[in-house]
Homo-oligomer: A and B are copies of this chain.
Amino acid sequence: MSRKSEDTRARILDVTLNLLESGAPERTRMSDIAKAAGLSRQAVYLHFPNRADLLIAATKRLDEKVDIDATLAESRAATTGAERLPAFIAAWGGHIPVIYPVGRALMAMMATDAEARAAWENRMAAVRHGCAAAVAALARDGDLRPGLTEERATDLLAGLLSVSLWEHLTQACGWSQEDYIDEILRLARTALTGPG
């Protein structure tokens, strides 16, 4: 694993992310990626066994770049549920547009590729984990709406923070990111903590 090989690998991933972000996600065939990286199509296969693995690696690279952990640390710092919920929603909600292009490509592969599906579900499980933590904080404070189990509340919050709903409101309906965050927060609050 020489320096050069690592560089090429990184270049492939960067180029892939660029292609996905630059408007035409259907133009990210293996040959498009290779061309953009200044390589032959086969050279790409020397670094990634298949397209699914390449896309998954690209999401991981993106995570490193934007340091999602640091972003989420902020919400983990909040002690009370009432503070943690908006912090988490702002953090994840703000991260969705960043991962959306590559997430979209992965979601498109899910239909056919089991590996892509597993990778995406794995990422969503991580989000769910964050949801569960926020819900637990609410529960600890006794703020959870009566009759709502923590698990149910987590399901609900994860649903409200799904990429699909974000896509619907911001992409299809044209909401600003700010409006999206505000409305989802309001929704989550009333759904989880009940009226009042």
By a beta-carbon cutoff of 8 Å, the part of chain A in contact with chain B is: 26, 108, 111-112, 155-156, 158-159, 162, 164-165, 168-169, 173, 175, 183, 186-187, 190-191, 195-196
Among the listed B159, B168, B173, which residue makes an inter-chain contact with A169, where contact means beta carbons less than 8 Å apart?
Answer: B159
Q: In the complex, are the beta carbons of B190 and A175 less than 8 A apart?
A: no
A159 and B168 in contact, given A186-B191, A187-B187 (Cβ under 8 angstroms):
yes
CB distance from A181 to the nearest CB of B (A): 14
Ordered by A's residue number, 13 sampled pairs between the chains whose C-beta atoms are within 8 Å are: A26-B111, A108-B111, A108-B112, A111-B111, A155-B169, A155-B175, A156-B169, A158-B168, A159-B168, A162-B165, A164-B168, A187-B191, A190-B195
The oligomer's copy count stands at: 2
Given A155-B173, A191-B187: A26 and B112 interface contact (C-beta under 8 Å): yes
Identify A156's interface contact among B26, B112, B183, CB under 8 A.
B183
Residues of B contacting A158 in the complex (Cβ-Cβ under 8 angstroms): 168, 173
Closest B residue to A190 by beta carbon equals: B190
Contacts of A159 in B (CB 8 A): 165, 168-169, 173
Q: How far is the CA of A93 from the CA of B156 in the complex (A)?
A: 16
In the complex, A158→B155 CA distance in Å?
Answer: 19
Tell me, rounded to whole Å, the shortest Cβ–Cβ distance linking A26 to chain B: 7
Which residues on B sit within 8 Å (CB–CB) of A173? 155, 158-159
CB distance from A104 to the nearest CB of B (A): 9
CA distance A155 to B183 in the complex (A): 11
Q: Are A162 and B168 in contact (CB under 8 A)?
A: yes
Closest Cβ neighbor of A105 among chain B residues: B111
Nearest 10 A/B pairs, CB to CB: A164-B164, A108-B111, A190-B190, A155-B173, A159-B168, A195-B195, A159-B165, A187-B191, A159-B169, A162-B168
A108 to B183, CA, bound (A): 29
**With a CB–CB cut-off of 8 A, which chain B residues contact A195?**
190, 195-196
